[in-house]
């Protein structure tokens, strides 16, 4: 509960203003990222909580504070050791990440442990990075620690971000990006090659044939899909259903993969996953185990969780990332016109982090949900628009508007897609999940 109240305190202050952070029990400045918040930005397996700890599901979901006591204790331990009042300031970071200094900070055992968890596929990616010209042991460690463990992650990330996160020098990064792009053959290609790629694009079934048809045969990978609509229109239900369906075999409309769920509103419900798994005759324990869950307590946590997700994608065979919801924290934390530019800039960076993941991992699907805000000046037609404005509209590849129908029915309307016609689909939310 303490974590959630920190968010509230933060929400009352504008960017640049001090606020009392309940999580750290210290004064912070709104809009800055704090080192100690990294302690809260952690993922956990849903199954670990439900099965291993023998916690009743109802306990789990009624307890908003999903950070375990051990984690909390750990965060206090870290507080004692570090000077946690120190804000991660860009200038400080530049000084801090003098390459030799960083070498000392990186614990070799840590890195070996990390690599041990990698799948063969992920290790092959690391091997490719290792073979780039000029990549020695120290550079490789810095890259992996910062989440750049594949050629794609280096090639598609702006140099300034690689520098900020890895601490490597400008020239080294420039060379690494150039070499990665050459190895990946990034440049112009014929439309035929692009078509070959698109023909084989992987899709996840939504559970409803009509809704799948609206998407041209299922929710496609390699892009960011936004579901927006009013409350109770089924955004969270769809997000849950996709976490189950992504685990189905390919012939059943899945991707044989795992899901990563970033919950910003505290509305993730393992019992709904169990019901939906049962709808497919799946072992719900296995289904829960294959969902990596992270609760974002404020917008800083949310941004950090996405950054942290990069390393988990290969390791855990993640094929679907959910952010439910994308804008909620930003809306409540950045209040007033004066904060608008700052808010939009942060959301833009966050969306680009998500989009970049789909470039790096083309068989990954990113689904975000979004609330609507009322447009009081509209008298005819739909008086609601998606929150987040043009930044979110242009950041999402496919946008679908959800509204309530009769009873269990919901209507999905294709608002924007580069290759799909406008259209509508009706689906139902039932106990066992989404159906026609």
Inter-residue contact 30 to 11 (CB < 8 Å): no
Closest distance to ligand GTP from the beta carbon of 405 (Å): 11
Cα(22)–Cα(26) distance, integer angstroms: 7
Q: Which option in ligand GTP, Mg ion, none does residue 66 bind, with CB closer than 5 to 8 A by kind?
A: none
Nearer to Mg ion, 28 or 235 (CB): 235
Cβ-based nearer residue to ligand GTP, 221 or 371: 371
The DSSP bridge partners found for residue 86 are none
Element holding 220 (H helix, E strand)? strand 219-220
283 binds, among Mg ion, ligand GTP, none (CB under 5 to 8 A by kind): none
| Residue 429 Cβ vs ligand GTP, minimum distance, rounded to whole Å | 4
**Closer CB to Mg ion, residue 36 or residue 324?**
324
Least separation in angstroms between CB 324 and Mg ion: 6
Q: Which is nearer to ligand GTP, 115 or 426 (CB)?
A: 426
DSSP label at residue 48:
I
The span from the CA of 22 to the CA of 15, in Å, is: 17
Q: How far is the CB of 275 from ligand GTP (least distance, A)?
A: 6
Nearer Cβ to ligand GTP, position 205 or 371? 371
Minimum gap (Å) between residue 300 Cβ and Mg ion: 21
User: C-beta of 295: minimal distance to Mg ion in Å?
Assistant: 14
- What gap in Å lies between CA 27 and CA 376, rounded to an integer? 37
Helix, strand, coil percent values for the chain (each to nearest 5): 50, 20, 35
Can you give the binding site for ligand GTP, defined by CB under 6 A?
229, 231-237, 267, 371, 408, 429-431
Tell me how far, at minimum, the Cβ of 417 lies from ligand GTP, in Å.
20
206, burial (CB in 10 Å: exposed 0-12, middle 13-18, buried 19+): buried
236 binds Mg ion (CB under 5 A): yes
Residue 380: contacted member of Mg ion, ligand GTP, none (CB under 5 to 8 Å, by partner type): none
Distances (CA, A) of 412 to 210, 296, 425: 10, 27, 5
Question: How many whole angstroms separate alpha carbon 183 and alpha carbon 156?
Answer: 13
- CA pair distance 58, 14, nearest whole angstrom: 36
Task: Give the number of C-alpha atoms closer than 13 A to the C-alpha of residue 3, restricted to the C-beta side.
Answer: 26
Q: Which residue is nearest to Mg ion (CB)?
A: 236
The distance from CA 145 to its chain's CA centroid, rounded to whole angstroms, is 18
Q: Which is nearer to ligand GTP, 304 or 429 (CB)?
A: 429
**Three-point CA angle 353, 418, 199, nearest 5°:** 90
Task: Identify what 431 binds: Mg ion, ligand GTP, none; CB under 5 to 8 Å per kind.
Answer: ligand GTP
Q: How far is the CB of 59 from ligand GTP (least distance, A)?
A: 19
Work out what residue 371 binds among Mg ion, ligand GTP, none; the CB cut-off runs from 5 to 8 Å by kind: ligand GTP
What string of DSSP letters covers 331-364?
A: HHHS-SGGGHHHHHHHHHHHHHHHHHHHHHSTT-
Q: Residue 256 or residue 432: which is nearer to ligand GTP going by CB?
A: 432
- Could you say which of Mg ion, ligand GTP, none residue 232 binds, taking C-beta under 5 to 8 angstroms by partner kind? ligand GTP
Q: Which does 233 bind (CB under 5 to 8 A by kind): ligand GTP, Mg ion, none?
A: ligand GTP
Q: Which structure tokens are listed for 181? A: 């792009």
Closest to ligand GTP by CB, 302 or 371: 371
**Of ligand GTP, Mg ion, none, which one sits near residue 384, judging by CB under 5 to 8 A according to partner kind?**
none
Which stretches of 83-190 are DSSP H helices?
Answer: 90-96, 99-105, 108-116, 120-130, 137-145, 151-156, 159-166, 170-184
Shortest Å, Cβ 374 to Mg ion? 18
Residue 164, CA distances (Å) to 14, 125, 134, 212, 360 in order: 26, 22, 19, 40, 19
Q: What kind and span of H or E run contains 21?
A: strand 18-21
Stretch that binds Mg ion, among 221-229, 267-275, 339-347, 400-408 (CB under 5 A): 267-275
Nearer to ligand GTP, 422 or 431 (CB): 431
User: Residue 424 pairs with which residues in a beta bridge?
Assistant: 413
**Closest separation in Å from C-beta 76 to Mg ion:** 32
Residues sharing a CB contact under 8 Å with residue 266, sequence separation 6 or more, in sequence order:
4, 64, 295
- Contacted by 408, from Mg ion, ligand GTP, none: CB < 5 to 8 Å by type: ligand GTP
- Which partner from the list Mg ion, ligand GTP, none does 375 bind, CB cut-off 5 to 8 Å by kind? none
Which residue, 208 or 371, has its beta carbon nearer to ligand GTP?
A: 371
Token readout for 361 is 């991992």
Residues that bind Mg ion (CB under 5 A): 235-236, 267
């Amino acid at each position: 509960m303490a974590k959630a109240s920190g968010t509230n305190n933060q929400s009352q202050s504008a960017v640049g203003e001090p606020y009392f952070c309940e999580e750290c029990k210290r004064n912070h400045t709104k809009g800055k990222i704090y080192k100690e918040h990294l302690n809260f930005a952690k993922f956990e397996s849903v199954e670990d909580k439900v099965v291993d700890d023998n916690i009743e599901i109802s306990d789990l979901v009624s307890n908003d504070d999903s950070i375990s006591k051990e984690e909390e204790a750990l965060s206090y331990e870290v507080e004692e050791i570090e000077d946690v009042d120190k804000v991660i300031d860009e200038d400080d970071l530049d000084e801090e990440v003098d390459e030799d200094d960083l070498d000392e900070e990186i614990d070799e055992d840590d890195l070996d442990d990390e690599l041990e968890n990698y799948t063969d596929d992920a290790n092959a990616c690391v091997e490719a990075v290792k073979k780039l010209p000029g990549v020695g042991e120290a550079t490789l460690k810095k890259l992996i620690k910062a989440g750049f463990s594949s050629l794609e992650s280096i090639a598609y990330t702006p140099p300034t971000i690689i520098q900020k996160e890895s601490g490597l020098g400008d020239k080294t990064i420039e060379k690494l990006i150039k070499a990665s792009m050459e190895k990946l053959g990034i440049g112009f290609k014929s439309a035929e090659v692009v078509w070959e790629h698109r023909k084989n694009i992987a899709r996840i079934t939504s559970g409803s044939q009509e809704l799948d048809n609206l998407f041209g045969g299922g929710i496609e990978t390699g892009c960011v899909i936004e579901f927006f609509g009013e409350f109770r229109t089924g955004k969270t239900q769809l997000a849950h259903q996709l976490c189950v369906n992504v685990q189905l075999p390919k012939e059943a409309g899945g991707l044989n993969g795992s899901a990563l769920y970033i919950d910003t509103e505290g509305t993730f419900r393992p019992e709904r996953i169990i019901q939906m798994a049962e709808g497919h005759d799946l072992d719900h324990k296995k289904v829960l185990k294959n969902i990596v869950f992270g609760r974002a307590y404020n917008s800083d946590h949310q941004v950090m969780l996405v950054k942290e997700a990069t390393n988990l994608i290969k390791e855990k065979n993640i094929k679907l990332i959910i952010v439910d919801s994308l804008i909620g924290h930003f809306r409540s934390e950045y209040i007033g016109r004066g904060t608008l530019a700052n808010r939009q800039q942060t959301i833009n960076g966050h969306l680009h982090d998500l989009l970049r993941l789909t470039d790096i991992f083309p068989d990954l699907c990113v689904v975000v949900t979004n609330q609507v805000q009322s447009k009081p000046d509209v008298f005819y037609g739909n008086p609601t628009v998606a929150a987040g404005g043009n930044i979110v509209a242009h950041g999402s590849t496919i946008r679908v508007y959800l509204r309530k129908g009769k009873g269990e029915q919901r209507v999905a309307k294709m608002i924007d897609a580069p290759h799909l016609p406008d259209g509508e689909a009706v689906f139902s939310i039932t106990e066992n999940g989404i159906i026609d």
